[in-house]
Structure 1
């Protein structure tokens, strides 16, 4: 028993460590890395937009992105456990809730860290200029030699006269959009989780309504970056694709929410959540609804 507990603690600590490492590496890159110094054409109209404050600040995006999925996951799992006929002991309910929620949330946070890491690697490797770059940089056009006859000249020299160096550096990391990639990751993970675990059918349209709401939040966050002149539309599109792909991969391959199983008997069908033996032809596919016995067994321990 003691050896089993120690092994469990090691596994939990290891999972937490990997999630933390992903976020730490990403934050270090964001704080210390120097973006690739990309030049510009004198007549590049895509860089001439004014500077605007963000419609959705990063603090708001991350707060909602972390709090909303965590709240939904904890509440959903608690309801599932309490609805089990064998959920009588308070200790068993708490232990089961911790096991189920921990496995899901540690995968969620790890995926978020990896998504953020890939986003920052792209930002500082590509060094694409933001649409408001000229407003922040304030190039010295004489130093850039952008005369009337040389408007198509590609300028690679540092000709910025802006006083805020941090803003100038930030104006060089347009690709890809971090708001788009992270918000899409958060919400796609959540809507897939709801599809997998939300089994209450009292209101037919409740599940798709929630999923539509969450996806719309992520989509609006990305689109706001275009209207705020923080990103080009291709930056947002790339961010949305990265976030969605990462969420799908983490849910399917890491979180354990979807498990592939092959069923050949009535007992195995029951474990797969398939009550009808005639549906055995569907075996081998990823299951959507978990068997209630799984929760019962965990709460009975």
Structure 2
């Protein structure tokens, strides 16, 4: 419910921070709507929501097929449902468990980031381009003059609100959460790589590291792209990545085994 109100309604508005006249850190050109990004929201959210379903389901199917004839594996993984007669297939149980925890963490990350954006109201690198302040009316003869008026902007209100919701970076948080969650799986060794321990043992030694490093690299590139397009500051991206990684590590260490 909180995710819905934060993402699709104007129930919560970001805090209105002031700005310094002609602040060079806020005068980058407007990159336009998010749909014009190299990583548009439809692609990012499709990957974040769809990749775990495909990857985790595929990995668990491979594991189950490889160890299907192992009685020891089945005895360890089965779950008693009713009395002593009904059991859930270990593949189904593990898949639902991993995906359920992932969805919980995804919503948690989104809520943390949205709350941070609303509370801080941090200004984007292109804020002054969409704010379009009237420097003469605001008395900005001195470039160090601080403007605190909430009505100091004359630009489009929707663009101004978008430029006030940058810290922490949601795209960086969600992408890193996805990468770390899929890469980490607590086992006998602390934070052993999930894909390396599952896929690597069944397919090959290089399969796990390749997939894990690819996910982490794509997550980092998502953050770099946000900075390159002037949509976020480095601090926004780093904070978002830290939140995403922290949520993923906490869930992996708390909910598995």
Q: Structures share a fold, TM > 0.5? A: yes
* Aligned 8 A contact 2:196 2:207 in 1: no
For residue 100 of structure 1, report the CA deviation from its aligned partner.
1.2
Q: Where do 5+ consecutive residues of structure 2 fail to align?
A: 72-85, 185-193
- TM-score, L = length of structure 2: 0.83
Is residue 17 of structure 2 the alignment partner of residue 38 of structure 1? Answer: yes
Partners of 2:97 and 2:197 in 1: CA distance: 15
Partners of 2:65 and 2:132 in 1: CA distance: 61
SS in 2 for 1:143: helix
2:112 matched to which residue of 1? 118
SS in 1 for 2:89: helix
For residue 176 of structure 1, report the CA deviation from its aligned partner.
0.5
Matches within 5 A, 1:40-79: 40-52=19-31, 53-79=36-62
Q: Which among 152, 165, 173 is matched to residue 159 of structure 1?
A: 152
Partners of 2:200 and 2:218 in 1: CA distance: 23
For residue 160 of structure 1, report the CA deviation from its aligned partner.
1.3
For residue 252 of structure 1, report the CA deviation from its aligned partner.
1.4
* Aligned 8 A contact 1:181 1:239 in 2: yes
- TM-score, L = length of structure 1: 0.71
Is residue 2 of structure 2 the alignment partner of residue 25 of structure 1? Answer: yes
For residue 197 of structure 1, report the CA deviation from its aligned partner.
2.8
SS in 1 for 2:137: coil
Matches within 5 A, 1:61-100: 61-86=44-69, 95-100=89-94
Listed one character per residue, the Cα deviations across residues 234-268 of structure 1 (whole Å, up to 9, x for unaligned) are 000111111111111111112x2xx2xxxxxxxxx
Larger Rg over CA atoms: 1
1:136 matched to which residue of 2? 130
Partners of 1:238 and 1:98 in 2: CA distance: 35
Task: Flag as ranges the 4+ runs of structure 1 deviating above 4 A.
Answer: none
* Aligned 8 A contact 2:62 2:202 in 1: no
Partners of 2:165 and 2:203 in 1: CA distance: 47
Listed one character per residue, the Cα deviations across residues 86-119 of structure 1 (whole Å, up to 9, x for unaligned) are 389xxx9983322111111000000000001000
Q: Which among 78, 95, 102 is matched to residue 101 of structure 1?
A: 95
Listed one character per residue, the Cα deviations across residues 192-234 of structure 1 (whole Å, up to 9, x for unaligned) are 2314433425532221111110001100001100011111100
Listed one character per residue, the Cα deviations across residues 31-71 of structure 1 (whole Å, up to 9, x for unaligned) are 32110000000031000000113221122111111211211
